[in-house]
Homo-oligomer: A and B are copies of this chain.
Amino acid sequence: MKRTNIADVAQKAGVSPTAVSFAFNKPEQLNSETVNRIRMTAIEMGYMPNPMARALIAQRSGIIGVMLPQPLSTVLANPYFHTFLQGISSMCDEQALSLMTLSPMNGSLDQAIARSPVDGFIIVGYNEAHHEVSLLRKRGIQYVLVDGDATCAPSVNIDDEQGAYLAAKYLVDKGHRDILILMLDTAFGHTDEELHGVAMRRMRGYRRAFDEVSVVWRNEWVLPSVSSMIGGQQNFDAAYEQGLRPTALLGAADAIAIGAIQAAIRRGMKVPEDLEIIGYDDSVLASLVQPGLSTVHQPIFEKGRVALELLIGEWESAAARVTDASTKQVWLPTHLVLRGTTT
């Protein structure tokens, strides 16, 4: 019933627990004959060191936690996160780290954080002001923010504002004036203010392009949408039923834009002839849908890798007892990718 531990192996091999530990971790401290005997005994008994005990003493578990802004089921439905997690995990492979995902669960991230034996967090979609994040800071647990504003910790962001600007600019320059904007809903709610960095930046980018050529910004043409195809569909339909007849559409996420394409086609519109569409993210789906989605490219995969690199950097500077006042804020570039949903 009980799992075999180091003492069991030691007893059977006729040595001390220390010797068993050495046999695995510092074999040069032991007679090679003894090492072999101990290893044999261990294999025979199916012994593996208890990872919790090991992590407890080493003060590190080799696990990094990824804190996600939405329940895992929502996140997994979003191609943006697939690529992002791929980026992190490719780095994990190289560094022999394991990955653990944390999502708001039963409304309580706190609990999940409290019982996570991780060496640090990559936090996606929260600002530093967020309650959970400030808790980590107080506790002295290292973290890196992604898609969120930071000053006390390293962060990775993209140039959301510029990307959005490029997309909107492209459309207004072509003469469009009735542009429907399906914005991330995180820009609206007032309950979770901390989430809103990315959405606000994209909104500002769109707005800047409008202002530059004096296109009127009408709030009723900006709809909040959840980041999913369903969200895009529903909001396009809602806009249409309110009497809006856009000639172009800006989707603040690819999933939203793709949903909108489908809704538009279903209403008999032709894309891009009747409706030009530009999304955001350049997720894998963008090049797969028909017609291919024009969108703002961001280096999602790289974002994940850089985030983990920064976290590892934090560990190293902590180990070297360097208090780097200059925490690294990384900004990755964005650019416009034109495919079939624009002419």
Interfacial residues, chain A to chain B (CB-CB below 8 A): 1, 3-4, 46-56, 61-63, 71-73, 76-77, 82-83, 85-86, 89-90, 92-93, 96, 98-103, 105-106, 111-117, 135, 138-141, 229, 284, 288, 290, 318, 321
- Taken together as a complex, chains A and B put the C-alpha atoms of A14 and B60 apart, in Å, by 30
B51 touches A116 (CB 8 A): yes
Instruction: Find the B residue at minimum CB distance from A55.
Output: B52
For A86, list chain B residues within 8 Å (CB). Answer: 72-73, 76-77
* 11 examples of A-B residue contacts, CB within 8 angstroms: A1-B318, A1-B321, A4-B140, A52-B61, A61-B115, A61-B117, A72-B85, A72-B99, A76-B82, A93-B103, A99-B100
B52 touches A52 (CB 8 A): yes
Instruction: Find the B residue at minimum CB distance from A113.
Output: B48
B96 touches A111 (CB 8 A): yes
A290 touches B288 (CB 8 A): no
In the assembly, how many copies of this chain are there?
2
B82 touches A46 (CB 8 A): no
Of the residues B46, B51, B89, B135, contact of A138 by C-beta under 8 Å: B46
Assuming the contacts A56-B50, A56-B52, asked whether A98 and B102 have C-beta atoms less than 8 A apart, the reply is yes
Assuming the contacts A46-B135, A93-B105, A103-B89, asked whether A98 and B116 have C-beta atoms less than 8 A apart, the reply is yes
- Taken together as a complex, chains A and B put the C-alpha atoms of A135 and B86 apart, in Å, by 28
Assuming the contacts A101-B99, A138-B46, A139-B48, asked whether A89 and B114 have C-beta atoms less than 8 A apart, the reply is no
Of the residues B4, B47, B102, B139, contact of A46 by C-beta under 8 Å: B139
> What are the 8 A-B residue pairs with the smallest beta carbon separation, nearest first?
A46-B138, A72-B89, A73-B86, A76-B82, A52-B56, A51-B117, A100-B100, A52-B55
In the complex, how many angstroms separate the beta carbon of A122 from the nearest chain B beta carbon? 14
Instruction: Find the B residue at minimum CB distance from A78.
Output: B82
B139 touches A115 (CB 8 A): no
- Taken together as a complex, chains A and B put the C-alpha atoms of A47 and B93 apart, in Å, by 32
Assuming the contacts A1-B321, A99-B101, A102-B98, asked whether A117 and B114 have C-beta atoms less than 8 A apart, the reply is no
For A71, list chain B residues within 8 Å (CB). Answer: 89, 93
- Taken together as a complex, chains A and B put the C-alpha atoms of A106 and B92 apart, in Å, by 10
Question: Of A51, A90, A102, which is in contact with the most chain B CB atoms at under 10 Å from its CB?
Answer: A51
